[in-house]
A and B are shown apart, each in its own frame.
Chain A
Amino acid sequence: MSKGYFRYFLNKLVWLFITAVFAFVLNFILPRLMPGDPVAAITARIAQGMSNSTGMKEVYEQYATLFGTNRPLLEQFFLYVRNVLQGNFGSSFSQYPRPVADILKSSILWTIGLQFPAIIVGWLIGNTLGALAAYLKKGFDKVLMPISIFISNFPAFGMAIILMVIFAVDLKWFPTSGGYGFDMIPNFSWDFIVSVIHHYQLPFWSIVLIAIGGQAIGMRSMSIYELNADYVKYSRFLGIKDSTIVRYVFRNAMLPQITGLALSIGTMVGGALVAEIVFSYPGLGYTLLNGVMGQDYPLISAVTLIITIMVLLANFLIEIAYGLIDPRIKAAQSE
């Protein structure tokens, strides 16, 4: 690793750290900024139907200690960070006494396994289509562009519902919900893997389709911009082969698209979480929904923090990869 790249890497690493701290602060402070005593509100919900006042008081005190709301704010924050770093998110309200960390552990893999490949595949297909549209123009462009614009404006949950109605409810090709057959227990048997793949298709493609639309539009305008650039005209004038020029052009058009991916990955994950909910996919989105339905504050807070950290990490990885291929950063390395 050269010195220039190392500096770039270090820079991004520091930035990752700052944003992560900020995410912790926001996750901690936002619910506490709201008027009222959150612990009182929570215990009121938990204690509904509880007539025993000593019991209610005990519940209150248990949560007050758990969140440390009886201590100064700064101390609370460090307590919170320490607990989170130890993987201790407290107990879930709606699935008491199951620890939140346990619920997250079972859902986080589903989300990563679904969203990461879907976003990458969507990004690749979208960019290829966008580049083709810019290069071929005419018929292809005329058909692809309106479709892409329409799809990219379609909410992710809408795409999920439409795929579900067509392929699961009407054609019955795929199941309507879940991550695996409802009569199965997760294990490494052949049947289970087949069932998982079968349940995977619709959520996967609904996320891919949404990603394709937006990426194709971006890549198309980037490519058109590059195709009109002076260096293209100059290369043509020099008689360089068309296929070689196209390679230069798309490489250059690709770079902003990678940054674009880094910047839009948060929004994409948000849409994909809602798509998960539509299919009752056992990932973080569905867990979040359950948290909201069950007024499960520790669960919601943990899910939002995990999602933020995941997005920050994805962002960091993309930027690290970007540093490896961007010629400008490469040039800075060789200086």
Chain B
Amino acid sequence: MKHTLQQIFRSGKFVTGFSIFTALLLIVIFYPLIVRDDPLANIGQGTFFPPGVYVNVYDSINAPPYILNLSDAAAKRVASKLGNQERKDLKEWLVAAGIPEDEIDITDTAKLLDLWEKNYDPTKNIPGMTLARQRYFQRLNASLQGILSVEGITIANPNPQTGALEAVKTVQQADYVNISQVPNVRVLALGTDNFGRDVLTELVKATGVSLQIGIVAGIIATLIGLILGLLGGYVGGTVDDIIMFITNLFIVIPSFVLLILISFSIGQEKRGAFTIAVVIGFTSWVWTARAVRSQVISLRVRDHVNLSKLSGHSIPHIIINDILPYIASYVVMALILQISSGILAEAGLSILGLGPRTTEVPTLGLMMNWAMIYQAQILGKWWAYLPVLVTIALITFSMNLMNTGLDQVFNPALRE
């Protein structure tokens, strides 16, 4: 046993896969201990906030200001509102409005804005311009208001008696806050999803749930496959014929069709993550049964098994002591593959809208399903689907690497 383990951990592929998988597992276990937020809490009001550090504006205004005189601050401020694209757009409008092209210099901010202010008229109808484009110019114009101002902004409160605004504070352009003095800062490393949930926290929880689904499905499938394979292979005769008949039937009938039919019939209300895992397990045992059976058949006639039979050992004794140890490595490999295909099956089902019901737990498939229903991929909200895809790929990739590594250890013909 010790020797086998040593050999396994000498396989580069296995170690790589094992490391990736362990890293994922550690994150799933330890992240919730550090970040104790509810993974399904809708914190964002609105959909798909981009990843970043969110600093509370109210708290920043009330935090002690520090004056930093940075020479490029004004330029950066202008650039954030008036990038290259916006400058070109301004020029496009001005040209369309009849300003000679050589009078417009998009590199000179002051002149360009001056020209814009003088000529822009939101009501002016430019031939061939769509309404959406007109609205865009109206928004752009609004965002450019006061862009070159050097004054600060005055914060005012309404007087409770008269309702008139009274200045409370003035925020200067050179004022800075120290983030550590702002009490409310939230890091959304992967932004929020369509419901306004923190994607990272949700993803970690979903990975955990999906792994559990995979493991439950894998164990069920492997157990059924193992038992049927042992029965068919060792007992033989009519039992074997019946088992082989059923196995061959289920091999050609696509398992996802069964999955779809069963999941749909169970109904949305009764579909929990565990139920889905059990259903996946019950529809994916076929390969294991077939392979175990053929291995058992070749083992059954070996000398040590015959010797055991002659010594009068019972069938369970022979199976446990003389057969199982020889197929153990294969069963472990099959289990690994079953877990990974179980996770994929859940994802596929969820994309069809037949996954676990959505209210209790996130799974990787459900996150994918939500992202796709809200068209994250078309809107360019990569943080809603790409991390999920990468996680699925990492899980299945790491498991397959482990499997290939094991295969090379136990099947000398495949060694390089």
Residues of A near any B CB (own CB < 8 A): 15, 18-19, 22-23, 26-27, 30-31, 33-34, 36, 38, 41, 149-150, 152-158, 161-162, 164-165, 169, 176, 221, 224-225, 228, 263, 266-267, 269-271, 273-274, 277-278, 288-289, 292-293, 297, 300-301, 304, 307-308, 311-312, 315
Mask, B255-268, CB within 8 Å of A = 1, is 11110111011110
Contacts known (A30-B261, A153-B340); A161 close to B389, Cβ less than 8 A: yes
Give chain B's interface secondary structure class. helix
Mask, B208-220, CB within 8 Å of A = 1, is 0000000000000
Chain A residues with Cβ below 8 Å from B392 are 155, 158
Q: How far is the CB of A40 from chain B (nearest CB, A)?
A: 12
Partner of B262, one of A30, A267, A269: A30
Are the C-beta atoms of A158 and B393 separated by less than 8 Å? yes
Q: How far is the CB of B89 from chain A (nearest CB, A)?
A: 19
Are the C-beta atoms of B261 and A266 separated by less than 8 Å? no
Select the residue from A34, A152, A312 with max chain B CB neighbours within 10 A.
Answer: A34
Are the C-beta atoms of B258 and A315 separated by less than 8 Å? no
Q: How far is the CA of A96 from the CA of B106 in the complex (A)?
A: 59
Q: How far is the CA of A149 from the CA of B380 in the complex (A)?
A: 28
Q: How far is the CA of A289 from the CA of B414 in the complex (A)?
A: 42
Question: 19 more A-B contacts (CB under 8 A) besides A158-B389, A228-B413, A274-B351?
Answer: A18-B249, A19-B249, A19-B252, A30-B261, A33-B265, A34-B265, A36-B267, A149-B404, A153-B340, A154-B393, A155-B348, A157-B348, A158-B392, A161-B377, A162-B389, A225-B413, A277-B351, A300-B260, A307-B254
Q: Does B116 interact with chain A (Cβ within 8 Å)? A: no
Contacts known (A153-B396, A266-B253, A266-B255); A304 close to B260, Cβ less than 8 A: yes
Tell me the nearest residue of chain A to B259, going by C-beta.
A270
Q: How far is the CA of A38 from the CA of B267 in the complex (A)?
A: 10
Chain A residues with Cβ below 8 Å from B397 are 149-150, 153
Tell me the nearest residue of chain A to B255, going by C-beta.
A266
Q: Does B206 interact with chain A (Cβ within 8 Å)? A: no
Are the C-beta atoms of B253 and A308 separated by less than 8 Å? yes
Q: How far is the CB of A186 from chain B (nearest CB, A)?
A: 24
Partner of A161, one of B252, B385, B396: B385
Tell me the nearest residue of chain A to B261, going by C-beta.
A30
Are the C-beta atoms of B414 and A221 separated by less than 8 Å? yes
Tell me the nearest residue of chain B to A170, going by C-beta.
B380
Q: Does B354 interact with chain A (Cβ within 8 Å)? A: yes
Tell me the nearest residue of chain B to A304, going by C-beta.
B257
Q: How far is the CB of A187 from chain B (nearest CB, A)?
A: 28
Chain A residues with Cβ below 8 Å from B396 are 153-155
Contacts known (A31-B264, A41-B267, A150-B393); A157 close to B351, Cβ less than 8 A: yes
Are the C-beta atoms of A292 and B257 separated by less than 8 Å? no
Q: How far is the CB of B264 from chain A (nearest CB, A)?
A: 6
Are the C-beta atoms of B251 and A267 separated by less than 8 Å? no
Tell me the nearest residue of chain A to B246, going by C-beta.
A22
Chain B residues with Cβ below 8 Å from A224 are 413-414
Partner of A23, one of B253, B264, B377, B404: B253
Q: How far is the CA of A165 from the CA of B389 in the complex (A)?
A: 13
